[in-house]
Structure 1
Amino acid sequence: MILSFSVPAMLPYIRAGLWQLRGKNIDEARVKRQTIRSLGPRAHTLLAWDPIGHTIPYDLQLWWKSRTPQRELLGEVNCGRVRVYQIEILHSRIEPVRGEPYPCIRIDGPRGWREGDATLFWSPGDDAASDFAREAYADGFDSPAAFRDFFVPNMSDRFDAILIKW
Structure 2
Amino acid sequence: MKLFQKRKENSVEPKPNAISKEIQAGYKRLQGGWANWMMKRTENFSRRTWVVLLTLFILSTSTYSVYLAVSAFTGKASNAISITPIKKPTHITETGEANRGTAEVSEAEYSRIKKFRVYMDSLARSHSGKILYDSINRQRPGLMDSMRFIENYYQQLKQK
- TM-score, normalised on structure 2? 0.19
Q: TM-score, normalised by structure 1?
A: 0.18
Greater helix content = 2
